[in-house]
């Protein structure tokens, strides 16, 4: 992963402000919209079955996130994903809490079957549950390290034909025959709600400008991690961290990426 | 627009803490509630059809916002708006994303027909779509400058008998035979999600204390813009901007308005 | 109330990171999740009837909050509460806006009848409405001081067999034959949306580690108030207050509690 390629994607996002359509959870709607704006993209949140096809057709990426799932949202996700596939718009799926309840695991598995995503971005527990590899989840937090989910991620990538991005202290991104690890980030990131969902949303922005979903996923995790390190240096706690994280996404320069 | 009149409204809001009932979108519920509290008003968010009539009858303004619209919410907005009209409570309507999908345009047009609002507050693309003047929307962001929407705003104001407040680099507020332009604000405001929705919510607070919807709309946009300039002076990015914007609403003094 | 006992609970939360299952309102989902993470707990938000029983069975506390109630959520709250009772998992109920509309009062009274909570945490107006003691509510803000709700809180505690925690300038916590008052806090806390809901969420975290609901409720209010005072000392307005409040929850040491 070259610093100059990460930077090139970031410059493209800032120049083109791609529209990213999110059908996501209530907890993170505000924070992921703000992260997308801070990085230079243009977010829209819309979930009504009456409008998701029309909305996604205007967008350059679709982000699906099952964090506060309920039945009416599943149909909207399905419709939007089918339309996105028909139009060649990349889909990023976040299987929040998969493994915690059967409802979530079943829903995500059926989404993956009916309208396969381009990229799945989850934590180790979620990826293992989704691949049927067991593993336990503690609510929406992972009970395993990302490396433990490597075999599951590879199996999922093969069976679904998608990139799998496993976040953790080290992020592991897997495509059919490639692996890349991202070592950026900071423990404070686990003390802010929805930073995993933010990683998913930013992956959507990168997929909008980079035709390689594998590189898009890796670059997004790198920018997340670098912004996290920049923010942690000036944040005594998770409140100031959130503020400084958005500022870091907005202020990040080529040098911040190269000097990592 | 006189500084002393803006200040008088702000003082009234702080003294009377008018209850503002919001039926708004998921993305901005938290941030618009906080902006209303920071400016001195008392927000309530309630959308159940079972309670909106009772809730709005306690309030001094009703704010409707279709940002994350779905079918069950439309009936509640309609019921609340009819009750507000019956009681003479001012209604401020934000047509978020009008023009992006037929569902939104149709819903807002039917809201305007069945229970006309006192004030419509939107960006140029939304106002043009609503007036049937064409124009294109990029999701929820405007693709046009507010001045381009002037004719559409005037037509909408005449046909609906309401004040139309078009936000942008310059805000243009239109009533039947009056126009006022507000030149305050800062480009950073476009990098924070929901500041348009915040403008709508604050317009509700001003309409609660000022019997002239035209002046209320203009004063709200002035306070938005002045707070934005105050915040931008000390904010390196959109994270710190959000924090400083709420502080500025809370701390604003007469001198901050006069010295603009 | 001993400082060392408050601190012991806080240390346990930080060491054990108990999972707290929240079925709460849209306005505060993000901020209460962040407060739970800042204090050391692990939050999950889930409201689908299909999964609430499974989710609550993984949790050590259940938090119910009717702030943006609608019909589909009531069934989920009822199911989750029944399962929590069956498993001996403490339930904390926040009757947001009780008294403002009949829909809220009726819903909360029926929740209390069908699946009595361990702790009710509300403001004076809400507790009085819930106890049928009249009192008036201004939307979701209290129109009475907590001391005025003492008799209502005691009646409610007796009839429901639960602890009642009334927040205000002074917090009053009532069990069958005990009362404790908490004098910490700062007026700025009323200018941030959802800090009452945050108190309820933190009460859930304390109830997860302390087998006495009475002490858990009191310790949670003490930590809220102390964090509020710590934050207010460095916050010119409610924007910076929110940031510093989360930092204070995260950074709080034994000395911060003892020196109050």
- Of the residues A24, A33, A34, the best mutation for testing chain B's interface (the one with the most B CB atoms within 10 Å of its CB) is A34
Are C37 and A67 an interchain contact pair (Cβ–Cβ within 8 Å)? no
pLDDT of A133: 79
C46 interaction partners in chain A (CB closer than 8 Å): 68-69, 97, 101
User: Token digits for C122?
Assistant: 């509300």
Q: How close is the nearest chain B Cα to the Cα of A224, in Å?
A: 15
pLDDT of C260: 75
* Number of domains forming the structure of chain B: 1
Residue B173, classed as helix, strand or coil, is strand
C244 interaction partners in chain A (CB closer than 8 Å): 239-240
User: Token digits for B200?
Assistant: 């709508």
Helix (H), strand (E) at residue C34: helix C29-39
Going by pLDDT thresholds of 50, 70 and 90, the confidence category of residue A32 is: very high
Locate the chain B residue with the closest alpha carbon to A54. B101
A65-96 residue pLDDT tens: 999 999 999 999 999 999 999 999 999 999 99
Q: How close is the nearest chain C Cα to the Cα of A16, in Å?
A: 29
pTM tops 0.80, yes or no: yes
Are B191 and A251 an interchain contact pair (Cβ–Cβ within 8 Å)? no
pLDDT of A167: 96
DSSP state of C191: G
Range of the domain at B215: 3-258
Going by pLDDT thresholds of 50, 70 and 90, the confidence category of residue C259 is: confident
Are B101 and A38 an interchain contact pair (Cβ–Cβ within 8 Å)? no
Locate the chain B residue with the closest alpha carbon to C244. B243
B198-245 residue pLDDT tens: 999 999 999 999 999 999 999 999 999 999 999 999 999 999 999 999
Half-sphere exposure of residue A47: CA atoms within 13 angstroms, side-chain side: 26
pLDDT of A23: 98
Are A139 and C55 an interchain contact pair (Cβ–Cβ within 8 Å)? yes
Query: Which ipTM value was assigned to this complex?
Result: 0.95
Average pLDDT of chain B is 95
Q: How close is the nearest chain B Cα to the Cα of A248, in Å?
A: 8
Average pLDDT of chain A is 95
- Summarize the confidence of residues A238-260 as an average pLDDT: 96
Residues 6+ apart with CB under 8 A from B250: B38, B39, C191, C236, C237, C238, C239
Going by pLDDT thresholds of 50, 70 and 90, the confidence category of residue C246 is: very high
Are C236 and B243 an interchain contact pair (Cβ–Cβ within 8 Å)? no
Q: How close is the nearest chain C Cα to the Cα of B159, in Å?
A: 34
User: Token digits for A219?
Assistant: 């670059």
Are A26 and C26 an interchain contact pair (Cβ–Cβ within 8 Å)? yes
> What is the rounded distance in angstroms from the CA atom of residue A120 to the CA atom of residue A192?
21
Interhelix angle B29-39/C238-251, rounded to 10 degrees, is 120
Are B51 and C240 an interchain contact pair (Cβ–Cβ within 8 Å)? no
Q: How close is the nearest chain A Cα to the Cα of B28, in Å?
A: 7
Q: How close is the nearest chain B Cα to the Cα of C16, in Å?
A: 29
Which CATH number do you get for residue A196? 3.40.1190.20
Are A58 and B100 an interchain contact pair (Cβ–Cβ within 8 Å)? yes
pLDDT of C183 over the 80 cut? yes
Neighbours of B58 (CB within 10 A): 17
Residue C30, classed as helix, strand or coil, is helix
Going by pLDDT thresholds of 50, 70 and 90, the confidence category of residue A138 is: low
CA-closest candidate to residue B70, choices A71, A161, A258, A168: A71
Beta strands in chain C (DSSP E): 19-23, 42-45, 61-65, 91-94, 119-123, 137-138, 141-142, 163-167, 171-175, 178-182
Q: Please identify which residue in the block is written with the tokens 């800062």.
A: B186
pLDDT of A136: 62
Q: How close is the nearest chain B Cα to the Cα of A199, in Å?
A: 17
Locate the chain B residue with the closest alpha carbon to A251. B237
Going by pLDDT thresholds of 50, 70 and 90, the confidence category of residue A29 is: very high
Query: In this structure, what is the dihedral angle of CA atoms C214, C220, C222, C227, given to the nearest 10 degrees?
Result: 180
Average pLDDT of chain C is 95
Q: What share of chain A is helix, strand, coil (3-state, %, to 5)?
A: 55, 15, 30
Locate the chain A residue with the closest alpha carbon to C251. A237
pLDDT of A186: 97
C34 interaction partners in chain A (CB closer than 8 Å): 192-193, 238-239, 242
Cβ atoms of A123 and A166 within 8 Å: the answer is: yes
pLDDT of B193 over the 80 cut? yes
pLDDT of B54: 96
- Summarize the confidence of residues A93-122 as an average pLDDT: 95
Are B194 and A30 an interchain contact pair (Cβ–Cβ within 8 Å)? yes
When CB atoms are compared, the residue of C38, C51, C243 closest to A104 is C51
pLDDT of C72 over the 70 cut? yes
> What is the rounded distance in angstroms from the CA atom of residue C124 to the CA atom of residue C128?
6
When CB atoms are compared, the residue of A29, A48, A249 closest to B69 is A48
Are A237 and C245 an interchain contact pair (Cβ–Cβ within 8 Å)? no
- Summarize the confidence of residues C222-249 as an average pLDDT: 98
Locate the chain C residue with the closest alpha carbon to B248. C237
pLDDT of B260 over the 80 cut? no
Chains in contact with C via at least 3 Cβ–Cβ pairs below 8 Å: A, B
C124-145 residue pLDDT tens: 999 999 998 776 666 667 778 8
pLDDT of C137: 64
When CB atoms are compared, the residue of C30, C51, C248 closest to A103 is C51
Half-sphere exposure of residue C139: CA atoms within 13 angstroms, side-chain side: 22
Going by pLDDT thresholds of 50, 70 and 90, the confidence category of residue C218 is: very high
CA-closest candidate to residue A56, choices A103, A92, A20: A20
């Amino acid at each position: 992963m070259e610093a100059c390629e990460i930077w090139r994607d970031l410059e493209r996002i800032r120049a083109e402000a791609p529209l990213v359509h999110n059908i996501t959870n209530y907890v993170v709607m505000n924070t992921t919209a703000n992260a997308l704006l801070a990085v230079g993209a243009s977010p829209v949140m819309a979930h009504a079955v009456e409008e998701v096809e029309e909305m996604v057709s205007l967008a350059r990426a679709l982000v699906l996130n099952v964090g506060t799932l309920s039945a009416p949202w599943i149909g909207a996700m399905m419709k939007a994903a089918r339309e996105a596939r028909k139009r060649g718009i990349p889909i990023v799926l976040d299987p929040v809490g998969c493994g915690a309840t059967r409802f979530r695991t079943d829903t995500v598995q059926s989404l993956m079957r009916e309208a396969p995503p381009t990229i799945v971005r989850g934590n180790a527990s979620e990826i293992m549950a989704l691949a049927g590899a067991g593993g336990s989840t503690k609510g929406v937090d992972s009970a395993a390290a990302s490396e433990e989910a490597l075999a599951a991620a590879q199996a999922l990538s093969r069976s679904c034909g998608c990139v799998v991005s496993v976040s953790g202290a080290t992020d592991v991104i897997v495509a059919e025959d490639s692996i890349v690890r991202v070592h950026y980030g900071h423990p404070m990131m686990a003390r802010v709600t929805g930073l995993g969902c933010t990683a998913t949303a930013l992956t959507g922005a990168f997929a909008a400008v980079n035709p390689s979903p594998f590189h898009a996923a890796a670059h997004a995790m790198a920018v997340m991690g670098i912004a996290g390190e920049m923010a942690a240096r000036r944040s005594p706690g998770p409140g100031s961290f959130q503020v400084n994280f958005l500022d870091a996404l907005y202020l990040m320069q080529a040098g911040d990426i190269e000097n990592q």
